[in-house]
Structure 1
Amino acid sequence: MSEKRDVAIIGAGPGGYVSAIRLSQLGKRPCVIDIDEARLGGVCLNEGCVSVKSLISNASKGRDIREMVSRSQEAVSALKSGLKSLFKKNGIEFISGKAKLLPGKKINVSQNGGKSAKIEADNIIIATGSSPNIPQGVIIDGESSITSNEAIKLEKLPKTMLVVGAGAIGVELASLFFRLGTKVTLIEALSRILPFEDEEVSKALARILAKKGMEVLTGRTIEPADKTAFEKILVVTGRKPNIDGLGLEDAGVKTKDGFIACDGKMRTSVKGIYAAGDVLNTPMYAHVAYREGIIAAEDICGVKVEPIDYENVPHVIFSDPEVAGVGLTEIQAKEGGYDIAVSKYFFKANAKAVIGKKDDGFVKIIADKKTRKLLGVHIIGEGATEIIHEFVLAKSAGLTVDAITKMVHAHPTLSEIAGEGAMAVFGKPIHG
């Protein structure tokens, strides 16, 4: 006999727990299913966003890595306690076990000791996240060859490290271990690091990292000799959705290109079954999963929802220096047929950046000459991950570059880079 629930959510990560809270706020009684309550917060909290950024914020040469990992785990524990309190406050039930979809909006939950439970729900949200994607032929032993999951829990700092993959995670972890004193070699199979960022930004970061002493190699893949040449090999070559063994086919849920297929309201091919987060072919960011989870929850409750405009979603990288962007790159804008105006404003002209001796980098703004609206903004430099949000709001609201130039930015702040950068698009910045 099945136990009936309003909504059953598979996965306790950003897409799952946020949708559960929103459902509760709207009067539903959801349950969340995951392997163990220790997984509350998902990869983001336990091995990803929060854990990595906690380590980065405390990183400096000579620091005891065990102390740093301990402080990181303290932050994770504090945030997890907060989530548990939110679950209790909102009356959200947590069910431990491995979930598998069955026909008819039913779920089999395999639990410890060979036990199992059947859950039936009016609606289901799939939010099982993603895991490291390991290239064919590469063996991860957890010791000499590791993924990001093991990297953030190392108790001894390696003398040498090969970081395989120069996407966001690879660049962040390479920056982290380099700052701690490890001799880092960062390799990327494609022609440049951060291959999906604006070309000028990715090339600038490569130059800055190399200038600091990191070896950065492009057009290079892992080789047999690397196993003995480096104390640790960190493989960060992307992520894949956790959908294997989930019973999608049995439940009738369709996939496309290895991801769950859904519409802008997060509805899958089966009525009443939704999906959110990394299981979808949308940007693999926790902040995207948050919003997708909210949309799924609100649609279930009959709230009118608007699909996400993914072009207005910011992407941020906590490298050293930071990188952030929103919208089109210069190449994409040209390929899209836009007549563009492009400006670059350098951090060296900003008082706050100079005061803090963090003046590497620039903001690059791409605007439509005809409408004067933002097409894309790309930043490399101190505070880039915060500065970008002024541009996200402006672009989402359809504001012109002129609206940013007319805004008064406090002095001395890094935010002035946004105002001066905007002035540079169709005129001249004061301090440029």
Structure 2
Amino acid sequence: MAKEYDVVVLGGGTGGYVAAIEASKKGLKVAVVEKDKLGGTCLHRGCIPSKALLRSAEVLQTVKKAADFGVAIDGDYQFNFLKAQERKQAIIDQLEKGIHQLFKQGKIDLYEGVGTILGPSIFSPTAGTISVELKDGTENEMLIPKNLIIATGSRPRSLPGLELDEKNVFSSDGALQMEELPKSILIVGGGVIGMEWASMLHDFGVEVTVLEYADRIIPTEDKEISKELTRLFKKKKITLVTQAEVQADTLVSQDGQVTIEAIVKGETKSFSAEKMLVSVGRTANIENIGLENTDIVVEKGFIQVNERYQTKESHMFAIGDCIPTMQLAHVAMHEGMLAVRYIAGEAIEALDYDLVPRCIYTSPEIASVGISEEKAKEAELEVKKGKFFFRGIGKALVFGESDGFIKVVANKRTDDLLGVSMIGPHVTDMISEAALAQVLDATPWEIGETIHPHPTLSEAFAEAALAVDGNQIHG
């Protein structure tokens, strides 16, 4: 029997479940179709599990440096990777349980199975009815939504011809399921995910080599941030090979070794390790969901939407990793909320993606918001900048983490804040102040004049802001 809803969400990942909760709070009748588990990639194969393991790596490094803090550890200590994996899973399970409870509170119907969008049919004169093939094998459910939100997310992609067997050659999904650590690993891709894995595995004691196609690691971030992370990673003995064009057809996996060739600055070189992790981006999950039964436009592998997240079918919306915006969990959440608010008849403002903070959970951490100095100059803006190093901050010295800096870029003519880039201790927690400053259109002077408590790491932000006009106190 067909069931009618105000909103049906196809996909129960971060964007999807947040959209569903927002819709339920608006008094709308809501259903979610999820083929796997609520929470999606972020909860089960991305944000949360990787950060849980990164926290274990951080604790391990703290133990190794305990003597520097006057803490003597008698006898040998051991790192139990399986125990770290168990802790990771316990966190995931707790959070997933919490989402189910929120669904129960919001009276949101959950259909566990694969949903397909149907064209005009006996159920509806317009496209959009969802046929759900349920996990339990019972007869398909037919859901008729007034509005459909597609939130099917993404999956790791690989290089053409490079097969991911998830035993010797991993995606980030497969790597999270490792039961033991390799002695060495090749990481193909020096972007955000690749660098987080490089940092984590090195801190776990794995020999790490990174092969990056661009001329620098994390090429999407400010050049000075990239340069600083390169310096610190090389200091840790992480091997970074840039301008490396990996030759997928040369992959050999045998006798406990993975070997592959790459053209590095015109010269063919061979690289070997016990395992390989391929981290070269993600692909939208838009196949086999019935888009061909609609007028929805797909370009370059992504669903096309307007600023209200409407597709060409005005009652169908799409959010998150399946549209060509920033592939970040907090972006998907906000896109979902905006789409629902529009469905509910509220006036919404288009999301300014330059105001979205970006975080990289390496050691040290990286965070940024706005545009980089390079992007500002490409836009032919006259810039001024300020930079302050954490080594001049008492709290950073107390933590024993004084590497890195904060950089503030402003428009020299208008004094508008253009962007902030940070690398150092706990900067992923500090970037929200910079994001708020941009939303409120604060100037560097206003940031610097805001009293930041002492001793805190946040003092570095105030100093960097003051440094834009040469007014820093401790630099």
TM-score of the aligned structures, taking structure 2 as reference length: 0.89
- Residues 111 and 134, structure 2, Cα contact 8 Å, conserved in 1: no
Would you say 1:192 and 2:201 are equivalent positions?
Answer: no
Distance across 2 between alignment mates of 1:348 and 1:374: 24
Would you say 1:176 and 2:200 are equivalent positions?
Answer: yes
> Greater CA deviation, 342-351 or 220-229?
220-229
Query: Cα distance, 1:155 vs. partner?
Result: 1.1
Aligned to 1:111: 134
- Residues 386 and 470, structure 2, Cα contact 8 Å, conserved in 1: no
Note the 1:392-411 alignment, pairs <5 A. 392-411=435-454
Q: Which amino acid aligns with 1:326?
A: V
Would you say 1:371 and 2:414 are equivalent positions?
Answer: yes
- Residue-by-residue CA offset, 1:186-219 (whole Å, 9 max, x unaligned): 1111111001101110111011101111111111
- Residues 129 and 241, structure 1, Cα contact 8 Å, conserved in 2: yes
- Residues 371 and 400, structure 1, Cα contact 8 Å, conserved in 2: no
Query: Cα distance, 1:225 vs. partner?
Result: 6.0
> Greater CA deviation, 40-49 or 422-431?
422-431
- Which of 452, 455, 470 is the aligned partner of 1:412? 455
- Which of 63, 81, 94 is the aligned partner of 2:97? 81
Q: Aligned to 1:125, what secondary structure does the other structure show?
A: strand
Query: Cα distance, 1:349 vs. partner?
Result: 0.4
Would you say 1:126 and 2:126 are equivalent positions?
Answer: no
Q: Which amino acid aligns with 1:106?
A: T
Distance across 2 between alignment mates of 1:122 and 1:375: 41
Aligned to 2:165: 141
- Which of 47, 50, 65 is the aligned partner of 1:49? 47
- Residues 15 and 332, structure 2, Cα contact 8 Å, conserved in 1: yes
Distance 1:114 1:139, change over 3 A: farther
- Residues 162 and 251, structure 2, Cα contact 8 Å, conserved in 1: no
Aligned to 1:3: 3
Distance across 1 between alignment mates of 2:5 and 2:378: 49
Provide structure 1 residue ranges, at least 5 long, that are not aligned to the other structure.
none
Aligned to 2:349: 306
Query: Cα distance, 1:2 vs. partner?
Result: 2.7
- Count residues with an aligned counterpart: 430
Distance across 2 between alignment mates of 1:155 and 1:335: 46
Distance 1:402 1:231, change over 3 A: same
Q: Look at both structures and tell me which one has the larger radius of gyration over its CA atoms.
A: 2
> Greater CA deviation, 280-289 or 229-238?
229-238
Query: Cα distance, 1:306 vs. partner?
Result: 1.2
Query: Cα distance, 1:222 vs. partner?
Result: 3.4
- Which of 87, 95, 115 is the aligned partner of 2:111? 95
Distance across 1 between alignment mates of 2:415 and 2:186: 44
Aligned to 1:64: 80
Query: Cα distance, 1:114 vs. partner?
Result: 7.2
Would you say 1:281 and 2:313 are equivalent positions?
Answer: no
- Residues 97 and 109, structure 1, Cα contact 8 Å, conserved in 2: yes
Distance across 2 between alignment mates of 1:383 and 1:221: 33
> Greater CA deviation, 217-226 or 390-399?
217-226
Q: Aligned to 1:423, what secondary structure does the other structure show?
A: helix
Distance across 2 between alignment mates of 1:221 and 1:29: 51
Distance across 1 between alignment mates of 2:226 and 2:320: 26
Aligned to 2:374: 331
Distance across 2 between alignment mates of 1:54 and 1:221: 32
RMSD: 1.3
Query: Cα distance, 1:422 vs. partner?
Result: 0.5
Distance across 1 between alignment mates of 2:208 and 2:278: 13
Query: Cα distance, 1:99 vs. partner?
Result: 1.1
Q: Which amino acid aligns with 1:71?
A: R
Q: Aligned to 2:331, what secondary structure does the other structure show?
A: helix
- Which of 145, 159, 172 is the aligned partner of 2:183? 159
Q: Which amino acid aligns with 2:17?
A: Y
Would you say 1:207 and 2:231 are equivalent positions?
Answer: yes
Q: Which amino acid aligns with 1:168?
A: V
Distance across 2 between alignment mates of 1:243 and 1:122: 21
Query: Cα distance, 1:359 vs. partner?
Result: 0.6
Distance 1:13 1:430, change over 3 A: same
- Which of 31, 38, 41 is the aligned partner of 1:40? 38
Q: Which amino acid aligns with 2:167?
A: E
